[in-house]
Amino acid sequence: MSGQDLDKARAEANAARERLLGSAHALQTRLAPSVLAERAWGGVREGGEAAASKALGAVRARPVAASAIGIATIAFLARRPLARLIGRIAGAGARPATNTKPARRSRRIEGDRS
């Protein structure tokens, strides 16, 4: 290999190294946590907007059904407080409270006369 061929090979190797470093830098920039988080948040935001738009269209198409579903959901989530309120209104609060716990029995140890 002559001196010119060696210089040419070194130049090609340096050029290839520079291209590789440029590609690595570009990849590192694309895979930065902040960039990945921004892309993910953008996707979630777009998906949320699309779902909200579809839901709004469904509510506009059937307002009575949407209202019934909303009321049923709220009633399900608040079922215990609503049951207590209905119980108080119906007079369940006027009855004396019953003891629902069984009486506690004391244990005697054999040989203990106390």
Given a cut of 60, is residue 114 above it in pLDDT? no
For residues 103 and 76, what is the distance between their CA atoms, to the nearest angstrom? Answer: 35
CA distances 31 to 21, 27, 45, 65, 67, Å, are 15, 6, 20, 46, 45
pTM summary value: 0.40
pLDDT tens for 13-54 read: 999 999 999 999 999 988 899 988 999 999 999 999 999 999
**pLDDT band of 2, cuts 50, 70, 90:** confident
Q: Quick one: residue 111, left, alpha or beta (phi over 0 = left, psi -120 to 50 = alpha)? A: left
Alpha-carbon distance of 65 to 58, in angstroms, equals 9
pLDDT for position 12: 93
Name the residue with higher pLDDT: 1 or 33. Answer: 33
